Amino acid sequence: MTTQETVMNAQPRRLLRSAVAVFSGFFAVAALSLGTDQILHVLKVYPPWGQPMNAPSLNLLALAYRTVYGVAGSYIAAKLAPRSPMAHALALGFAGLVLSTAGAITAITMSDLGPNWYPISLALTALPCAWLGGILHRAGRAERRDKVEQSRNTLGEEDSSDNPARRVLP
């Protein structure tokens, strides 16, 4: 098999892994959000399904946990990405922006869906949450790399920066 054939065979697998990474992050956000919504409806914190939620405090609660879930989902997308983790996190953020914008347009044009600021806030927080998820993944990766370096140094091994063959890439 030639190098060109190997590269051509790797492209579809990498594309599939990229799609799985972004979809996994999206699924995590959707499942966590809907699961939390359901729990809060069952506990009667939220009004029954189908009724508008006009209380600002309840909408702030929903925005708060959806923000956390957005960061977590973007972290998952970055973690599972075959390469360019931040790009995968931001791809999920862009999908969230598009879907939230569609929700905001629907909420604004229809009445009795609750306050308009809530879906607008979801749209405005989609990309910052994705960016933060990517940053958290990057920070975790750097911390793991530092721990590996530290363990090598405590074992008396030479510093990997002295030997180009053993250098750990970021």
Q: Cα dihedral sign for 48, 52, 55, 60?
A: positive
pLDDT for 9: 62
pLDDT for 24: 97
pLDDT for 11: 74
Alpha-carbon distance of 140 to 168, in angstroms, equals 15
Burial tier of 69 (Cβ tally within 10 Å: 0-12, 13-18, 19+) = buried
pLDDT for 168: 56
pLDDT for 169: 55
How far from 31 is each of 5, 39, 75, 161, CA to CA, in Å?
A: 39, 12, 15, 43
pLDDT per residue, tens digit, the chain (170 aa), is 555 555 556 677 889 999 999 999 999 999 999 999 999 999 999 999 989 899 999 999 999 999 999 999 999 999 999 999 999 999 999 999 999 999 999 989 987 788 999 999 999 999 999 999 999 999 987 777 777 777 777 776 555 555 555 555 55
Q: What are the DSSP calls for 144-155, one per residue?
A: HHHHHHHHHHHT
pLDDT for 170: 54
User: Is 0.85 surpassed by the pTM of this model?
Assistant: no
